[in-house]
Amino acid sequence: ATALVYGTALLLLLAGATRMLGRFNATRLHHLTQGLIPIAGAVVVDGFGRLVSAAAERRRLSVVERVISVIRFSLFVDSMG
């Protein structure tokens, strides 16, 4: 359910950005969404790095760090399709 909410919000934001660039064009929207894939990959690598770092230091992630990791991961999963 969370991915659906985040995905819908992201789609609406991207549709608005597409509209701001001129007439709404599905191809332009597709290209904007495809541009987010490298960002999502970098976020996942960063998140895994933080988890490994926390495990190496044998410390627990704070609640804020956990929430950020979950949001990043859900955005990544949603961008995968």
pLDDT per position as a tens digit, 31-75: 999 988 888 888 888 888 887 777 777 667 677 877 787 787 777
Distance (Å, rounded) from C-alpha 28 to C-alpha 79? Answer: 16
Query: How high is the pLDDT of residue 81?
Result: 60
> Within the chain, how many helices (H) and strands (E) appear?
4, 0
**Residue partners of 23: CB distance under 8 A and separation at least 6:** none
Distance (Å, rounded) from C-alpha 43 to C-alpha 74? Answer: 11
Q: How far is CA 44 from the centre of its chain?
A: 9
Work out the average pLDDT over 12-37.
91
Specify whether the CB–CB gap between 74 and 2 falls below 8 A: yes
